[in-house]
Amino acid sequence: MALAGLPLVLLVGALGWIHGREGGKETPVHFLYQEKSECRFLNGTQRVRFLDLYFYDRQEILRFDSDLGRYVAVTALGEAQADYWNSDKHWMQEEKAAVDFFCRRNYGVFNYEAAKREERMIRRR
């Protein structure tokens, strides 16, 4: 019966711990962590480049570039994550395949010029 409250005490203790408190530094109250995926099309879908960018506090820390085929740490904060993801072969296959399943597949959906071109082709028939 006395152990019934133990999980609650452990949970509260875990929630109270803030990452980054070591060495007298505390995590700032307001910070931003953001991921941005981007497709760059050159010559329609003939040449496509997929970028997956990661930002911490409005500064880019890490990026995946499909031309390089791996993650590159932009700052020291992103080095550990870049090494981890680059060593995971399954994750890297998915990122490399994003050029096809994310960019080329959605080219006509999100590209205004492609939609206009298709509309003109339909009118000509």
Tell me the domain boundaries of the chain. 33-123
| Local structure of 71: helix, strand or coil | strand
Is the separation of the CB atoms in 51 and 63 below 8 Å?
yes
pLDDT digits (tens), the chain, 125 positions: 444 443 333 333 433 444 444 555 676 677 788 999 999 888 777 888 999 999 998 899 999 999 999 999 999 999 999 999 999 999 999 999 999 888 888 887 766 665 555 555 566 65
CATH topology of domain 33-123: 3.10.320
What pTM value is reported for the model? 0.63
